[in-house]
Amino acid sequence: MQPELISARGLCHAYNSVEVLSDLTFSMLRGDYIGLVGPNGSGKSTLVKLILGLEAPSQGSITVFGQAHKDLKAWDKIGYLPQKINFFNPHFPSTVREIVELGLISRRHSRLARAERRAAVDQALELLGIGDLAKRLIGDLSGGQQQRVFIARALVSRPELLILDEPATALDPETRDNFFSLLHDLNHRDSVSVILVTHDIGSIGEFASKLMFLDKRIIFFGSFDEFCLSDTMTKVFGPSSQHIICHKHD
């Protein structure tokens, strides 16, 4: 049986006493590739923050890699790509190589020799097909190229869990396809577990193994086979869209 990677029990979160996540109980298993979907404001980013330990539950509990967030060791094993990468100053004089190397600042990687860090960065750049951009300034790149740099930064530490918030929005169609096949390989070949927050509910069934549909509560969580048979999901999407989303029929 796959071991539990995330365990949430009765998890609630409130901002200024307004509850935005209510009574979430679920387990993510190692090797799962979860598509996290739901309307705007349904609590997806808040759940990601709770998983990362950036917010604390107002009630209930969550553990990641068997640890509560007081113990930040779990951080070393998580690669995170936030939705908004525009927070940095575009004139910030950092090269692509320097930005990607920032993904190696955790305790676990602090003892890496210079050559090992360099090799890890080179490998991440190659994976994303941006080896030729290593010396370029981040501010000089297009949105799609910058996105690839930040994906490389999330991957460079070889995380066991990757959390990606709307990662494909700025990518051109070819890079987007390459990106999803890279995620597929990481998940299947390297057993990296993945949580992908997305608005693209029509496509996620092609890639992910499970779907979580959130709307303050968990409306649905399960495999796409289960999604296909879920009466609740028929009520939400209607039978036609449900069977497009599940990708189980020709």
The answer to whether the CB of 32 falls within 8 A of the CB of 187 is: no
40 binds ligand ADP (CB under 6 A): yes
- Provide the pairing of β-strand 18-29 with 161-165: unpaired
Distance CA 138, CA 58 (A): 38
CB of 127 to ligand ADP, least distance (A): 27
CB of 21 to ligand ADP, least distance (A): 8
198 binds ligand ADP (CB under 6 A): no
Stretch of 40-48, 73-81, 115-123, 129-137 contacting ligand ADP, by CB under 6 A: 40-48
Distance CA 97, CA 115 (A): 13
Alpha helices per DSSP H over the chain: 44-52, 96-101, 107-110, 114-127, 143-155, 173-188, 201-207, 224-229, 231-245
The answer to whether the CB of 237 falls within 8 A of the CB of 230 is: no
- Toward ligand ADP, which CB reaches closer, 44 or 176? 44
15 binds ligand ADP (CB under 6 A): yes
Site string for ligand ADP, 44-83 (x = CB under 6 A): xxx-------------------------------------
CB of 38 to ligand ADP, least distance (A): 5
The answer to whether the CB of 119 falls within 8 A of the CB of 135 is: no
Distance CA 98, CA 8 (A): 36
Stretch of 37-45, 92-100, 116-124, 170-178 contacting ligand ADP, by CB under 6 A: 37-45
Q: How many residues bind ligand ADP (CB under 6 A)?
A: 10
Positions that interact with ligand ADP (CB under 6 A):
15, 20, 38, 40-46
